[in-house]
């Protein structure tokens, strides 16, 4: 598939590199100084686990016109930037498939105000990082030499179409595992319920390593994630995603605290959580406010969630 990756952040850059390396026809869209850097130097990636530096000379553009033709556009941008991209995508009538990969709390109405339902699908990348001085510092596994984290994709109605399989094949041929879910809206909402309280806990403690030593804040985080899950269940999202989030409801709190201590006391948490948070506080704040909108549809008490959300302001 002739593919445009719209957004040259850490994971947009990573997937562009992997697709290019696998021989796919891929272009990345970047802007301003970063566009000039990519034109001259290619995408420069630094793996924080292996310390390996990767350079790929991927095709780069700085805009999408009404006449540009791609079989697939993958939008990898922060949620608070999407509103600026939708009018641009709307003007191009030639692109048949647009995959939005990123955080989403309130569903898809904002997107469908600009784009026909049959054109869009949604998902979430795996890994994290940040771009510093045009170099992408990233991780895409939970531990050194670990399996690459999968991406998640899904159609709005839960069907698996021919294009869903084609996109799956595109990523898997580029050595990126793919998880297809039947309720991508629910998956994205539960993901927010899991990760946004982490941001509040990190900001309260200062960094992930300090959080790993703060048993009380970890306990508050675990209870906040459960509260968020109860909110989602109350408004109709009965199936929890991803599967491992169910452990928060099944396991004793003492066991969960020890698990989260290990997670926060890791290079993965430093790059995927803390480094990303430092670069995306505006997005995190917006997502927290959106989740409050969902919470306000219920009468469920969320004292731990409320406490951690206050750290985001």
The predicted pLDDT at position 250 comes to: 87
Beta strand spans in the chain (E): 3-6, 26-29, 43-47, 53-56, 59-61, 72-75, 98-101, 120-124, 128-132, 135-139, 151-154, 178-180
Picking from 182, 201, 225, the residue at the C-terminal end of a domain is 182
**85 is written with which tokens?**
């991209």
Collect the ranges in the chain with pLDDT lower than 50: none
Spell out a b/e string for 199-213, using b for 16 or more CB atoms within 10 Å of the CB, else e. bbbbbbbebbeebbe
Q: Do 201 and 266 share a domain, yes or no?
A: yes
The predicted pLDDT at position 256 comes to: 94
Q: Do 9 and 153 share a domain, yes or no?
A: yes
The predicted pLDDT at position 242 comes to: 77
Q: Do 95 and 117 share a domain, yes or no?
A: yes
Q: Do 143 and 200 share a domain, yes or no?
A: no
* Alpha carbon distance 286, 84 (integer Å): 15
Q: Do 66 and 126 share a domain, yes or no?
A: yes
Domain span including residue 147 = 3-182
The predicted pLDDT at position 151 comes to: 96
CATH number for the domain spanning 170: value is 3.40.50.720
pTM comes to 0.95
Q: Do 123 and 263 share a domain, yes or no?
A: no
Q: Do 165 and 296 share a domain, yes or no?
A: no
Q: Do 134 and 159 share a domain, yes or no?
A: yes
Picking from 161, 182, 203, the residue at the C-terminal end of a domain is 182
Q: Do 133 and 215 share a domain, yes or no?
A: no
Beta bridge pairs of residue 135: 132
What is the domain count for the chain? 2
The predicted pLDDT at position 248 comes to: 83
Picking from 126, 149, 182, the residue at the C-terminal end of a domain is 182
Q: Do 172 and 190 share a domain, yes or no?
A: no
Q: Do 51 and 114 share a domain, yes or no?
A: yes
What are the Cα distances from residue 71, in Å, to 12, 64, 93, 247? 17, 13, 12, 39
The predicted pLDDT at position 104 comes to: 94
The predicted pLDDT at position 246 comes to: 82
* Alpha carbon distance 141, 280 (integer Å): 20
Q: Do 261 and 117 share a domain, yes or no?
A: no
């Amino acid at each position: 598939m002739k593919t445009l990756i719209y957004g040259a952040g850490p994971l947009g850059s990573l997937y562009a590199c992997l697709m290019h390396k696998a021989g796919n026809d891929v272009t990345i869209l970047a802007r301003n100084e970063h566009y000039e850097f990519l034109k001259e130097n290619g995408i420069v990636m630094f793996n924080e686990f292996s310390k390996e530096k990767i350079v790929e000379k991927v095709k780069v553009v700085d805009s999408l016109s009404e006449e540009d033709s791609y079989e697939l556009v993958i939008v990898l941008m922060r949620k608070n930037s999407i509103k600026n991209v939708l009018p641009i995508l709307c003007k191009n009538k030639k692109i048949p498939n647009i995959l939005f990969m990123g955080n989403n709390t309130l569903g898809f109405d904002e997107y469908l105000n600009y784009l026909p339902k049959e054109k869009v699908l949604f998902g979430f990348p795996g890994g994290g990082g940040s771009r510093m001085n045009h170099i992408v510092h990233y991780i895409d596994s939970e531990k050194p030499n670990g399996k690459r984290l999968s991406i998640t994709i899904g159609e709005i109605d839960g069907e698996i179409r021919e294009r869903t399989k084609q996109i799956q094949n595109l990523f898997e041929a580029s050595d990126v595992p793919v998880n297809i879910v039947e309720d991508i809206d629910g998956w994205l909402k539960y993901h927010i319920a899991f990760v946004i309280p982490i941001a509040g806990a990190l900001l309260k403690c200062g960094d992930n390593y300090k959080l790993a030593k703060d048993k009380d804040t970890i306990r508050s985080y675990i209870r906040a994630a459960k509260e968020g899950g109860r909110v989602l269940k109350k408004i109709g999202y009965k199936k929890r995603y991803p599967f491992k989030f169910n452990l928060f409801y099944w396991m004793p709190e003492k066991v969960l605290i020890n698990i989260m201590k290990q997670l926060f006391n890791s290079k993965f948490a430093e790059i995927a959580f803390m480094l990303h948070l430092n670069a995306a506080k505006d997005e995190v704040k917006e997502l927290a406010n959106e989740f409050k909108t969902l919470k306000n549809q219920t009468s469920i008490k969320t004292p731990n969630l409320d406490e951690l959300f206050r750290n985001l302001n």
